[in-house]
Amino acid sequence: MAIRTSRESDDDVLDEAHEINVTPFIDVMLVLLIIFMVAAPLATVDVPVELPASSAKPQPRDVEPLFLTVQADLSLRIGDDAVTAHALGAALEARTQGDHSQRIFLRADRSVSYGELMETMNLLRRAGYLKVALVGVEQSP
């Protein structure tokens, strides 16, 4: 609140100024605008990345690992048995005796698109199998 003194009257009464000072508000808004202008480009993930091949030590497998394979023609196989996408849940239930905590090892041909691989993972999730391990070719360091 600002106070203005008036010298025009003889009784020296102080008058209040009924004006809003917006300068601090504008300063704060400009600082926030600059912060968001600097931070917004940092939040995007448009950086092209070439991922390296893994040379990590192989992890120990289960006694009887269950492999789900996506072949180049997008057909599915559990172990050596062919299965359709619609019958995948039932076939997994039969192979695991209903144990949804069992890890499924997912292998895919190199020519299978990322979208098709994600669709297979969605089928596994819908069937209740959330532990999925992706299998790749082991390379020497």
CATH number at residue 80: 3.30.420.270
- Within a domain: 112: yes
Assigned domain for 60 exists: no
In whole angstroms, give the CA distance from residue 75 to residue 140.
Answer: 30
Q: What pLDDT was estimated at residue 98? A: 87
Q: For the segment 116-138, what is each residue's pLDDT rounded down to a tens digit?
A: 989 999 999 999 998 888 877 66
**Within-domain flag for 70:** yes
For the chain, the domain total comes to 1
Decide if 104 contacts 124 (C-beta within 8 A).
Answer: yes
Q: Percent of the chain scored above 70 by pLDDT?
A: 70
- The phi and psi torsions of 54 (rounded to 5 degrees) equal -85, 135
Q: Is 44 part of any domain? A: no
Q: Give the DSSP letter of residue 25.
A: H
Task: Report the SS3 class of residue 16.
Answer: strand
Query: Is residue 121 classed as helix, strand or coil in its secondary structure?
Result: helix
- Tell me, yes or no, whether 21 lies in a domain: no
In a domain, 117, yes or no: yes
Q: pLDDT tens for residues 37-78? A: 888 777 664 445 444 566 667 666 657 788 888 888 888 988
State the alpha helices, DSSP H only, in the chain. Answer: 23-42, 88-96, 114-127
Residue 30 lies in a domain: no
The parent domain of residue 115 ranges over 66-135
Asked if the model's pLDDT at residue 107 lies above 80, the reply is: yes
Asked if residue 83 is part of any domain, the answer here is: yes
pTM of the entire predicted model: 0.55
Using CB atoms within 10 Å of the CB of residue 9, give its burial: 0 to 12 exposed, 13 to 18 middle, 19+ buried: exposed
